[in-house]
Amino acid sequence: MGRFDGKSVIVTGAASGIGRASAQLFAAEGASVIAADRAEGVHHTVAAIADAGGTAEAMVIDAGSESDVAALVARACEAHGGLDVFYANAGIIGGLEGIFDTSAETWAEVLRVNLIGPAMAIKHAGPRIVERGGGAILCTASVAGLRSGAGGPAYSASKAGVINLIQSAAQQFAGSNVRVNAICPGLIETGMTAIAYERARAKGKESMIGQLNPMRRGGEPEEIARVALFLASSDASYVNGQAIAVDGGLSSSHPVTRQEFGRTSF
């Protein structure tokens, strides 16, 4: 038997990376999964789940749109009789420009997808999870949201917002048996970090990836997905309102590159 037999689970950002790995692992543990993303690659995720004998359905949505998130929750409830877990994983990086070079439009879009999206997930999924007698909401934050030095300003601020969001939500769900937590990944090889990995490999410097953390390597999407499954499961029944760093130890020191006023990029 799987840990999520009979459970209804939504994963956003499921076309690749952490979202794809999480959707696959939830399905492997018996969950009926709605895999959502604005990229068509979400269909490949669902095909892989089906090939492995799991149950999943794809939805192409904008994770920062309230109407799309509401429709996503409604579909999960219609297809699977309710909702037990929502993993709000979708996000964008929004560039690495410094504060003085980032436009208001970029700020608005990054906050819309990375922060408002998870807020809408909590708003619409939470009451449905309460109806099932409780469950879990997860959000992907980042070590960049813990303190400066691990991402561009807009991205970092949005992820800091996610951390406070899950803390606030945990309090507002008091007495409902709904737990709300965040995962703060470090450097993970995903579509978002592909450029950095490709550049390092092109220069023959792949061995230097992740050298700022004590593990001396980057992480894999499956390593984040396994933490997501733990936090969503009954094994984490007393874990609530927490932002868990999964970063090889990077945030134990959080080394940064010194910056100076006038520098145009992160």
* Cα 54 from Cα 64, distance rounded (Å): 27
Structure tokens at 195: 């450029």
Q: Which residue in the list 87, 155, 197, 238 is annotated as catalytic?
A: 155
Dist. CA 26–CA 11, nearest whole Å:
9
The Cα 34–Cα 71 span in angstroms is 12
- For this structure, is 197 an active site residue? no
**Residues carrying an active site annotation:** 155
